Structure 1
Amino acid sequence: MLVCDYIVEKIDGDYAMLKRMDKPEEELKCVARALLPAEIMEGTELHYEMMCYTIKG
């Protein structure tokens, strides 16, 4: 199961573009904001585990 950390690079309406922190060369991942914590903003670090995003920290 995938466990990794992302940083919110860009918020565009109902979607956020996430960059994987351990593989920054990969393409940005587009994720619906409904799947992310409501209080995210650009620059927020997220932890992904068990199909769930949480704010890192």
Structure 2
Amino acid sequence: MPEEFTGYLNTWSAVRHYIKANQANPVGIIYPELNKLFLSQNKLKDHFPVLLRIAFVQKRYA
């Protein structure tokens, strides 16, 4: 479970900006604490909302 969560965190643009500025991945820095948290709980509920922006574009013929 922590691998899936950290994989999700690594998709954030803020993480990429941090890596570019500091040459270190902040998710890797907090991974040991996250791992302890996940292991200490019998069951953690997680919820990752998926937001989609969908539109229909009508073709115009010239």
- TM-score normalised per structure 1: 0.20
The alignment's TM-score, normalised by the length of structure 2, stands at 0.19
Comparing both structures, which one devotes a greater share of its residues to strand? Answer: 1
Bigger Rg over Cα? 2
Q: Which has the higher contact order (CA 8 A, sep 6+)?
A: 1
Task: From the two aligned structures, give the one with the greater helix fraction.
Answer: 2
